[in-house]
């Protein structure tokens, strides 16, 4: 009887959705890579919910196991304030689990990263950002596509630390029609690739903000969408979501304080790793230019003060900033797909002869 039930469940899984099948995956290395400038490049994931949120059945143990499989060194938990109960955090089985909350504010949310205390009952972004900073955390605008903090003046008043530039849950809602036919017929790796893109509106609104400010990319993982209900068939498994989109930070050590400081300082970049793994990406200022190096050949591009400045094909390049440019960011593209996006860095002036 049990064998028959298991066979029926397996058949239902196969018919209900290929993306729900736990396809074997090659483990990725979690070890940090060191850049020529001496920075450690740590792969992380931001915006993760567990059963400490009202809409997720996941556990910290599942999160850590998924992080290890995906080669993720750190995870930023952002529980909803209902029930708002944090699980274990700290270094767990080699993974740095950073506590935090997602707070409703400004028509969207604020991510309080590195905060273990329950947030105050308020939706005032200025008050909440001050509270996060007083608690020693960093505050990022969540669901930027809906936030009133996309307005430069409102952002300046609230003074958060940065912006969640990409959110996979928002992408899933926007591209639900595409997901509808992909999930039944494609393995997860391919079915969920449709979520990997940067909204032009988000990019344009970010470019208008003062700075522009530091960025993160968020998986917004809940591990809750199950094709077979209680029987399982979870589509948004942590182990799959953590391989789609990562936020890398450049740090001097692997501790949580160093990771938070890197996020605050803008030493971060986004990687759409569902297209290809990114163990490290180099984007470093040199005199009047920037050195870029990707894990594989790509189209490398330099954007300065919001304007495309230069590009080159290959695994590495040194791209010059235009005269008078103040800040630049780097991009790597695989064909027509954006693969890597950095935050802005100051241009180092050329030395006079």
The predicted-structure confidence for 82-96, as pLDDT tens digits, reads as follows 999 999 999 999 999
DSSP-derived pairing of the beta strands 215-221 and 246-251: unpaired
Residue among 105, 233, 246 at smallest CA distance from 168: 246
Would you place residue 175 in the very low, low, confident or very high pLDDT band (cuts 50, 70, 90)? confident
Say how far apart CA 79 and CA 101 lie, in whole Å.
Answer: 4
pTM of the model: 0.88
Mean per-residue pLDDT of the chain: 87
pLDDT of amino acid 349: 76
CB 294 within 8 A of CB 340: yes
Give 225's contacts (C-beta < 8 A, 6+ positions apart): 234, 235, 236
All CATH 3.20.20.140 domain ranges of the chain, comma separated, are 34-275
Instruction: Output DSSP code: residue 32.
Output: -
Could you tell me which CATH number the domain at 281-353 has? 2.60.40
Say how far apart CA 79 and CA 105 lie, in whole Å.
Answer: 15
Instruction: Compute the radius of gyration of the chain from its Cα atoms.
Output: 20
Say how far apart CA 279 and CA 271 lie, in whole Å.
Answer: 10
All CATH 2.60.40 domain ranges of the chain, comma separated, are 281-353
34-275: in CATH 3.30.1490.100: no
């Amino acid at each position: 009887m049990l064998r028959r039930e298991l066979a029926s469940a397996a058949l239902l899984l196969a018919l209900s959705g290929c993306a729900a099948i736990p396809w074997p995956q090659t483990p990725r290395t979690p070890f940090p890579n060191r850049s020529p400038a001496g920075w450690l490049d740590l792969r992380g994931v931001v915006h993760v919910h567990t059963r400490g949120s009202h809409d997720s059945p996941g556990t910290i143990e599942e999160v850590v196991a998924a992080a290890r499989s995906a080669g993720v060194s750190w995870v930023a938990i952002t529980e909803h304030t209902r029930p708002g109960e944090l699980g274990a955090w700290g270094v767990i089985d080699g993974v740095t689990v950073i506590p935090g909350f997602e707070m409703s504010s400004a028509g969207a949310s604020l991510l309080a990263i590195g905060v273990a205390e329950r947030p105050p009952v308020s939706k005032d972004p200025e008050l909440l950002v001050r509270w996060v900073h007083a608690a020693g955390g960093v505050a990022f605008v969540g669901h930027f596509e809906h936030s009133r903090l996309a307005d430069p003046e409102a952002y300046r008043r609230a003074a958060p630390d940065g912006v969640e530039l990409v959110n996979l849950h928002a992408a899933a809602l926007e591209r639900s029609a595409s997901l509808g036919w992909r999930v039944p017929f494609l393995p997860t790796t391919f079915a969920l690739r449709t979520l990997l893109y940067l909204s032009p509106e988000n990019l344009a609104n970010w470019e208008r903000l003062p700075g522009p400010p530091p960025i993160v990319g968020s998986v917004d993982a809940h591990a809750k969408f199950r094709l077979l209900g209680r029987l399982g068939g979870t589509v948004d498994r942590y182990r799959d979501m953590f391989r789609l989109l990562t936020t890398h930070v450049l740090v001097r050590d692997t501790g949580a304080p160093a990771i938070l400081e890197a996020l605050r300082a803008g030493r971060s970049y986004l990687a759409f790793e569902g297209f290809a793994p990114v163990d490290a990406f180099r984007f470093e200022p040199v005199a009047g230019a920037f050195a870029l190096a990707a894990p594989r050949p790509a189209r490398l591009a330099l954007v300065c003060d919001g304007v495309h400045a230069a590009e080159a094909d290959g695994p590495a390049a040194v791209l010059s900033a235009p005269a008078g440019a103040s800040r630049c960011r780097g991009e790597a593209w695989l064909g027509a797909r954006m693969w890597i996006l950095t935050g802005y860095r100051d241009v180092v002036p050329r030395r006079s002869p």
